[in-house]
Amino acid sequence: MTGLALLAVVLFGEETYYNRNIPLSEQPVSQSRWLRLVGIEQWRSRRCRNTPSQAFCRSFKVLTKPIILLTNFYYVCIFAWLVAINATLPIFLSSLYGFGPKQTGFMYFAPAVASIAAYISGHWLHDILARLYIRRNKGNFDPEARLIIVWLAMPFMISGLVIVGFSLQRHYHYMLVALGWGLYTFGMILNSASVNMYVLNSYPEASGEVGMWINFSRTAGGFIISYFQVSWVERVGAEVTFGTQAAICAAVFPVIILLQLRGKQMRSWGGELNFKTD
């Protein structure tokens, strides 16, 4: 798949390295698509772009902004449990319910259906809530409006984790496990879209950098929890484990409230990024 994607980029992609910070009349004139593909044209017009040191520092400069730190802290604390469920369920499904590979695979329809439902509903909800916010604020839009949907998503996440924990601990019907998994996944997808849109709307000139840090938080949280999730469940039981994870989701929710109340001031305190190029 990666090879096919690379081939498609070579054949159909177009890398312009367009600098939005300079007037159209000063933009470097494009000459050869193939020279742009291998970077020769970009090298010739390098004075219009970031130096290697500037490009390297962009990501770390973004991380100095208060809302980026808070958003990533929040995200790593709520996303890790998605990987925790994936790491735990196959073991419990085989030992408690006697599931084989086929039955375990069918269980993955629950998060798949929940993801599709979240994508469809989120497509409308995010825009509807943004329009309502603009209407209530006389045409003004703040990135904090993107966080409203977290209030809707968090109950799904907390209830989903609690249902999974109780169902596994007390040997409830496996469909309750699937329900809890689906509820958490549904809330997580809505949450992810909200968080991503918030940081992108806050710093649109650093879309690559803020997206990178969100992906880093997602990967780090899932990577860390996979090392001790199974032993955690074996030591204290699924009920306590997933209940604790639900409690952590609830405990970090005030970060969203803080961002909604003081996010605009924090962006002002953090100042502009002032990148050489956007």
pLDDT (tens digit, 0 to 9) for every residue of the chain, 278 residues total? 999 998 998 888 877 667 777 787 877 777 788 888 887 877 877 777 777 788 788 888 898 899 999 999 999 999 999 988 988 888 889 888 889 989 999 999 999 999 999 999 888 888 888 888 888 888 888 899 899 999 999 999 999 999 999 999 999 999 999 999 999 999 999 999 999 999 999 998 888 899 999 999 999 988 899 888 888 998 999 999 999 999 999 999 999 999 999 998 998 888 888 777 66
Spell out the long-range contacts of 105-112 with Cβ–Cβ below 8 A and sequence spacing 24 or more: 107/174, 107/177, 107/178, 107/181, 109/178, 110/178, 110/179, 110/181, 110/182, 110/185, 111/181, 111/182, 111/185
Contact present, 61 and 203 (Cβ < 8 Å): no
Calculate ∠ Cα 261-264-268, nearest 5°.
140
**Percentages (nearest 5) of helix, strand, coil residues in the chain:** 80, 0, 20
- Tell me the fold of 58-270: Growth Hormone; Chain: A; (1.20.1250)
Distance of alpha carbon 159 from alpha carbon 150, whole angstroms: 14
- Within the chain, which residue ranges are assigned CATH 1.20.1250.20? 58-270
**Region of residue 15 (left: phi > 0; alpha: psi -120 to 50; beta: else):** beta
Q: What are the structure tokens assigned to 226, written together?
A: 């996979």
Q: Look at residue 16 in the predicted model and tell me its pLDDT.
A: 66
Q: Look at residue 278 in the predicted model and tell me its pLDDT.
A: 64
Distance of alpha carbon 146 from alpha carbon 127, whole angstroms: 9
